[in-house]
Chains A and B, each alone.
Chain A
């Protein structure tokens, strides 16, 4: 016999699909199948269910580089000790866990004077900086579904990174005012490569890699009816720029989705600045919004919880006893490069795989702990690896979608026997930290 659970939230990316259907065995221990998920989401659910290959107890790195199993109590002690002893511990990650867990982590960070940072550091951090400069006209994904007739994907490839985005929100849905679906939408893709996403576009502007800023500003000028200089702008023929501007202005509701192509390339926050200003300019002619394609399923949530508790969305430095924020200075990458942290705590992300190697080496050098259900490059260079239950699969919790909509993820199966959740582990660490600090 089997059980079917509907309305399941997928804990992979910022699309935060909430229509998954998960079938489990009767005991609620093993996932048999997943419907409606993309390949990545399905893999997350199915792989988690393979308990035989799960790390189920904490492990500690030995002198010879091998790992030995330790108890959760020992892991809690190790974690509390390194955080309390450090003057400026870095507590990084947070994007693949629930808001409830993040909140407990923040209590620990405040007690220990840590730097709290999330994966925006290597993803949409520059977007957050740009928003702090110029604001952001935006909307929820349902508005896109119901109204949008002009959709731009700039520097992002949802076919690969947010696979169900186009069918759930941005290209194919038939919404209240968009009954014809794809047919009444014009899609523009701006990307140095003709990607799988651009194959669905009406127009692909193959921008020269790293020159998006120029193209964005040129579009702003074209939108305002100003003449452009030169025949080719950022690798795009001038006529195509004018055409794109006209296409955008002629719509009645447009949206720009953007990603790493503009946040991580040269120009960085200035690229996003220009994209937001383009959106704002377009509001003088028609209705336009812009939405960041957030990566992890709860990086947005981490930014929200940090925001209401400390006032800043990432790279928050609590080491002086009050919160400070200055991304180039207080962000994980630069802090690791400058060797300013003296302990590293990673939860809900994998900097070992996704940080530049020089920063990974620094993490390996410092007293460290990694809390993650998986074995990852991070867990394999930290002193202690603490496995925890998968949020959204084995424990529920609140998450925030890329458009900031909060959706509560569910528990669909039991975690492996005796495994703690992030929140339980953090609560135990908090208790121990409070004891150590009181002495």
Chain B
């Protein structure tokens, strides 16, 4: 297999603590190695930035609600459709790209691993069909557990062994990676048009609270020793004053130590925290509580977060927080799609225009950045836009620019129509911290990989790790123009995935051989859960149990992570 040597690049690799030093990176047989033979192809990376491939920790890129979004927004394809290329299928979609475009655009930015944030188990086969059609990037999907009837009943009855057996079974059946929790309890309440707005509101009929659901699943996750922690989108998303619900949620994890063999150090990952950091009690006095939120995150090392930065675009919101989406359509009156999924979850889709002229949108934009700028530990704070909810992932380079350049942020703040109000409701104007490239590597590579329990494989350039390597035409020491940050990170010069050159000067030159990661957690045989599953399928599901499991051929190149949870 091919050997490469990337010579003299300025390497930023938190895994090996290389902070912008000139270093050669060697690739052989798909892995990073110490040295290569003279036959290795040489790439001159002098004056250029070299990092590991980036890891997307949370995006909605594959599955039923993503596709409903595509099909119900033909307008999202206008003006930007690209024709078939030498190695590429035709590709389109701005906020909800087609699967081909998703793979190409991530790869071009140097992202090589992507986590699909929410997989409704009944629709798992659909998620995997789309993952299969997403080229280049390795992917995994998180099944949702927070509104699942089995989970409710087992946790209500304090049957930890049973919930662990069910989690293990569901991960295997859906070929899933981690325990995702979205609006716990609330999306089941939405089955009756209701919601759970605090973590102590009981779920109608099932009489369990979101706090109990999250705590129970957190406990199960640690007992199972899964590679990732629970991945949570808590209740009350999007509402002024919700930061209190957020802190209540964070505190569920306080003091709990992680248990796993994957190097993971957090027991709770909270996603798109921007949407959960709101103060005030109405849109009139809506304000940022990013500092309060980050005070907790900074003081509690057993937590990680991702930002959910607003990019100020027209985009499409889509989430398993069904009641929130209904609420959103009552605010902006744009077309609303909803699917409630039997026994499992709910989801909604509403287009959204984050208009910089609107005070609230501009404050949201500021909050996402404040969270990052307050973060003491970039290894625990990851860049996302909750794609496509707060903006398309193709805007990540723009977010990098804002994080790394105080001037670019101040220019934005001054340019807002309601500049004074925005500045008054946030603290961004007074934050002059500029994230360094090394910190950016922590926030987009090493940090997310470690939180996912994949720190031995992705997000770093240590010997033996996957050769996911990216070269950007960017020189941190010399650069004076923030726009260059966005430009360079939008189009990597070279991208290697598993040691294969996939992007060369913006062109896709190879589609690689992407893998689907999933977790096989072995638990003791549990005949009670087997029977419960059979009974619920017989009585309540609309498909037969034997037709539920995702067969192996939907996951043609699996990478199975085994966990012995016995």
Contact = CB atoms under 8 A, between A and B. Distances in A.
Interface in A270-292: 280, 283, 286-287, 289
Interface string B28-52: 0000000000000000000000000
A177 B540 CA distance: 10
Contact of A140 (B74, B130, B340, B349): B340
B93 A311 contact: yes
B87 interface: no
A168 interface: yes
A364 B192 CA distance: 52
Contact of A400 (B126, B337, B342): B126
B334 to A, nearest CB: 8
B291 interface: no
A147 interface: yes
A327 to B, nearest CB: 10
B67 A308 contact: yes
A143 B191 contact: yes
Contacts of B126: 304, 400, 404, 406
Interface stretch (B76-84, B385-393, B409-417): B76-84
Given A304-B67, A307-B70, A142 B133 contact: no
Nearest to B84: A110
A265 interface: no
B551 A408 contact: yes
Contact of B133 (A7, A139, A309): A309
Interface residues of A, number: 62
Interface string B51-83: 000000000001010111011111011000111
B339 A404 contact: yes
Contacts of A289: 338, 340
Interface stretch (A130-138, A183-191, A203-211): A130-138
Interface stretch (B158-166, B230-238, B520-528, B542-550): B542-550
A289 B190 CA distance: 12
Contacts of B341: 139-140, 142-143
Residue in B62, B72, B82, B89 with the greatest tally of chain A CB atoms within 10 Å:
B72
A331 interface: no
Interface string A393-420: 0000010100111111000000000000
Nearest to B82: A322
B219 interface: no
Interface string B308-344: 0000000000000000001001000001111111110
B520 to A, nearest CB: 21
Contact of B67 (A128, A141, A307): A307
A322 B191 contact: no
A313 B81 CA distance: 16
B539 interface: yes
Interface in B74-104: 74, 76-77, 81-84, 89-90, 92-93, 96, 98-100
A145 B336 contact: no
A245 to B, nearest CB: 18
Nearest to A6: B546
Given A135-B349, A142-B540, A289-B340, A128 B547 contact: no
Nearest to A303: B71
Interface in B144-174: 149
Interface string B509-544: 000000000000000000000000000000111111
A110 B125 CA distance: 25
Residue in A132, A308, A309, A322 with the greatest tally of chain B CB atoms within 10 Å:
A308
Interface string A171-185: 000011100000000
A321 B541 contact: no
B123 interface: yes
A276 to B, nearest CB: 9
B337 A136 contact: yes
Contacts of A128: 71
Nearest to A404: B64
Residue in A132, A169, A176, A406 with the greatest tally of chain B CB atoms within 10 Å:
A406
B342 A132 contact: no
A54 B226 CA distance: 53
A140 to B, nearest CB: 5
Interface in B115-134: 122-123, 125-126, 129-130, 133
Contacts of B74: 132, 311-312, 325
B99 A19 contact: no
Given A19-B544, A309-B100, A400-B126, A134 B539 contact: no
Given A7-B547, A311-B76, A325-B74, A406 B337 contact: no
B542 A169 contact: yes
B98 A137 contact: no
A325 B75 CA distance: 10
A255 to B, nearest CB: 10
Contact of A253 (B191, B350, B543, B544): B191
Contacts of B192: 147, 252-253, 287
Interface string B359-391: 000000000000000000000000000000000
A363 interface: no
Given A7-B547, A321-B83, A325-B77, A308 B335 contact: no
A40 interface: no
Contacts of B339: 138-140, 403-404
A174 B328 CA distance: 34
A380 interface: no
Contact of A9 (B71, B335, B340, B547): B547
A311 B338 contact: no
A241 B93 CA distance: 43
Contacts of B73: 132
Contacts of A143: 191, 340-342
A83 interface: no
Contacts of B100: 309
A62 B81 CA distance: 43
A145 B540 contact: yes
A318 interface: yes
A152 B308 CA distance: 40
B191 A407 contact: no
Contact of A286 (B193, B335, B541, B542): B193
A323 interface: yes
A308 B90 contact: no
A318 B99 CA distance: 17
B125 A408 contact: yes
Contacts of A322: 81-83, 90, 92
A18 interface: yes
B78 to A, nearest CB: 10
A143 B551 CA distance: 25
Nearest to A252: B192
Contacts of A9: 547
A311 B192 CA distance: 32
A303 B71 CA distance: 8
A176 B193 CA distance: 17
A6 B99 CA distance: 34
B98 A18 contact: no
28 contacts: A6-B546, A7-B544, A111-B84, A132-B74, A135-B338, A139-B338, A139-B339, A139-B341, A140-B542, A141-B542, A142-B540, A142-B543, A280-B336, A283-B193, A287-B191, A287-B193, A304-B71, A304-B126, A307-B67, A308-B67, A310-B92, A311-B77, A312-B70, A312-B71, A322-B92, A404-B64, A404-B123, A406-B123
Instruction: Identify the 10 closest CB pairs spanning chains A and B, nearest first.
Output: A142-B342, A135-B335, A142-B542, A287-B193, A139-B340, A321-B83, A406-B125, A7-B546, A322-B81, A137-B338
Given A135-B335, A304-B129, A309-B100, 18 more contacts: A19-B544, A110-B89, A132-B335, A135-B72, A137-B326, A139-B341, A140-B339, A146-B343, A176-B540, A177-B205, A253-B191, A308-B98, A309-B99, A310-B98, A311-B76, A311-B92, A403-B339, A404-B126
Interface of A: 6-7, 9, 18-19, 99, 103, 110-111, 128, 131-143, 145-147, 168-169, 175-177, 252-253, 280, 283, 286-287, 289, 303-305, 307-313, 318, 321-325, 398, 400, 403-408
